[in-house]
Structure 1
């Protein structure tokens, strides 16, 4: 599983890095940024889905890998 943030939709509410600090951080302007390459470590899948579900702009995509 991977996560990504669409920078054109992100408005900087910060819910992603508040709910899943191991997956997201804020940049110098307060917008969410994916840590590393966006790979979700085992056991953090629920955090990724919760962050995506709580993004007001639906800027977070959760990509299920085959």
Structure 2
């Protein structure tokens, strides 16, 4: 991802992986991991993974990681 002039030309390099296991009938369990490293013209660049619960969830450093474990049931 590349930012524009308003974002001080900061860049972010994310990688995401997920594994899903479907149980019989209507239930699924999943594990997800996200890693992001930021950089750019404006130092220090902060990593910011979209979807974190807090509105000010930017990292205090250039990298940030997120892990989720969940279960889904369809009705």
TM category (shorter chain) comes to under 0.3
TM-score of the two chains, using structure 1 as the length reference: 0.27
The structure where helix makes up a greater share of residues is: 1
TM-score of the two chains, using structure 2 as the length reference: 0.25
Larger radius of gyration: 2
Higher relative contact order (CA 8 A, sep 6+): 1
